[in-house]
Each structure stands twice: as C-alpha cells, then as structure tokens.
Amino acid sequence: MAVFTTNGMFILDEIHTDKQSFHNVIGGGGMFAMLGASVICADPKISKKLKWIVDRGSDFPDFVTGQIDTWQTGAVYRDNKSRLTTRAWNLYGDNDLRQFKYLSEKKRIDVEDWIEEFGLQEVSEIPIFHLLCAHDRAISILDELQKLGSSENKVFVWEPIPDFCDEAHATQIHQVVNRQDRIIISPNAEEGARLFGLKEPVSLQECVELLQKFDHFIADHNMCVLRCGKLGSLALGTRSSQGRRQIVHLPAYHSLSPSKVIDPTGGGNTFLGGFSLGFLFSKGDLTIASICGNTAAAVAIEQLGVPQRQGSKWNGLTFEERLNNYIELHKLPYSKKSVLDTLTSSGW
C-alpha cells in the first residue's frame, strides 16, 4: 500500500549564475518532496511505498534514473519517446534575483494519472498527499478524490503556486482551506506575507505575527506550516475545544552552520516531504513532523542539485545521525530514541 505521493512534476533544470552554468540538474517541487520523504524512510520496505510518477522523455539521461533508483522509492517511470522531458531554465543573480521559464512542454499529473499508474485501490488508500498547484487544480483534485469516496481521513499538504500567493487570489485560496478536507497549507514566509499584502518578514517575531493571520483564514480543523528559510519553520495546529491553536517553532538545521548551505533550491519542498512523513508516522504530532521536515531539508541544500545517497547515508550521514545532531546542536527537549520510537510505533 502506498503511503505518500505528489502531483508535482519531475523537471530537468538548466541553472545559470553570473559565473557558471549547469545542465540536467534534477529538479521539480514534487521530486524534492519525494526526496524529503525518502530521507525519513530508512527502511526500504517503507520507502518503496512512496509512490510517484517520473515522466521520461526521449532526452532523459540514464544517470538521472540511476540516481533516483538509489533512493529506493516506488518511483513509476512513464516513458514517452515522442516528447522531451519537462525542462526549465533558471537564472540566479544578485539581490535574490531569480528568473524562471519552461523550455519544453509541461506534463501535469492529476488524479487520473495516479489511478492509471498505481491502480484505483492504491490511490483510494493513500493517507497523505503533497499538492503543488494553483487553487483551481487543488479543488479539482480534492473533488475527484471525493468522487472516488476516498478523501475522508486523508491529509493534503498543499503548496499554493507562488504566483498566486497574493491579495488578488486570497479569496480563492481561502475557499480551498475552508473545505471539509484536512488541509495543511504551506507557503514560504514571503508568499504568506504577499497573501495578506504584507512585506516579507525578516525576524522570527514577524514570522509568528504572520502565522497568526492564518488563525481565522483557515478552517478550525485545518493547519498551516510557514517555511521561514534560515529562521526555520512555524506550524499552526488545529483549533482546540478551548479555542486555541498550537504554535510550534523549530530552527533550521543549518542555522548554526550556514557555511554548509550551498544551494537552498528545493529546501522548502524537501522540508514538506519530510514533514509529511513525520506527520503521518507520528499520528499528527506537529513537533515531530517539524523535526523531520527540518532534518530532511538540510540534505537538499548541502549541494547543487540532489544529494548523494550511499547505502543508508545521505551526504555521508544517516537519518538517525542527522536527527541526533539536530537535537543536540539545538538543545531540543527530545532524544533521538524518543523521536524514532514515535515514528516507528505507527505501524507503517
């Protein structure tokens, strides 16, 4: 049985800076989410339950397939020699300049694609989904799963498309996060601020104030996770019977070792993959989920592109070693054993 999937596309990136260029860089928000989930799943019997679709065109490099295979996920390769792999062009410059455009036709992933590749029964049983899309597609996916009679008891971790995180689309986003579905909306801090017509927060206090704006923006049973870059993550829980919501802050893994951050691209998506698996395995514990998210994100940002996996080690460290480092460096009130026991007690 599959435990996690994404509708995010697999993309081959072309990256340009003022000094150098890189080609065939593995990318795409969905890919990074699956990477984050696989970092948490040390047991290959579980990681094989991370089901996702990788569309390979006629130009798909063999070494990329080999790299994905080392993650030991349940990747389903969908080959089409009559088209090119989805490719994108990225330009990075001074003052956080980023320009982006697609170089080839996009190949979207929707509910019918999951059913075709995984089977109706498998899709109906997946407990947690990563959605990376605009509000209209999110509604379409949720409605389609509801028609299958399979949306109840599922959790949807939703990244709204950045371009639509603004006041002009706030009403549509509000509509999505006030459905009966269990939704965890997760913009980054800059996107979340734009949604309310605010400037990007630059301090933890400003991030907390921004998170609190989601208190009455989302339904009582839904949640928000704000990804705050080097300031870490902030999670807003469901509303309790006393009318309060839990707020959980966890520091970024490399906040005390910023020199180890080589390229932050994909860090937020990877966070959400780790967060999703942590949330599932801990049966909804926002702190454990956030620990998993921040630990997974560190793996993604230590190099350009994706990390190297050898055996159970990611860039030379296992998940358990990273978890222990994170807890000790940031003096978190947890032990490695307590977190691992929580993650392994779920039965997955």
**Span 275-290, pLDDT tens digits:** 999 999 999 999 999 9
CA distance 54 to 344: 28
pLDDT at position 17, please? 83
- pLDDT at residue 348 greater than cutoff 70: no
| CATH fold of 4-345 | UDP-N-acetylmuramoyl-L-alanine:D-glutamate ligase (3.40.1190)
CA distance 68 to 61: 11
Share of the chain above pLDDT 70, in %: 98
pLDDT band at 18 (very low <50, low <70, confident <90, very high): confident
How many residues appear in the chain? 348
For the whole model, what pTM was predicted? 0.96
- pLDDT at residue 239 greater than cutoff 80: yes
Give yes or no for a contact between 300 and 266, defined as CB atoms under 8 angstroms apart.
Answer: yes
Give yes or no for a contact between 16 and 91, defined as CB atoms under 8 angstroms apart.
Answer: yes
CA distance 219 to 214: 9
pLDDT at position 58, please? 98
Segment (H or E) for 247: strand 245-250
Give which of 106, 135, 109 is closest to 51, Cα–Cα.
109
Across 95-123, average pLDDT:
91
Across 13-31, average pLDDT:
92
92 is written with which tokens? 């990075």
In this predicted model, what pLDDT tens digit does every residue of 60-94 receive, in sequence order? 999 999 999 999 999 999 999 999 999 999 888 77
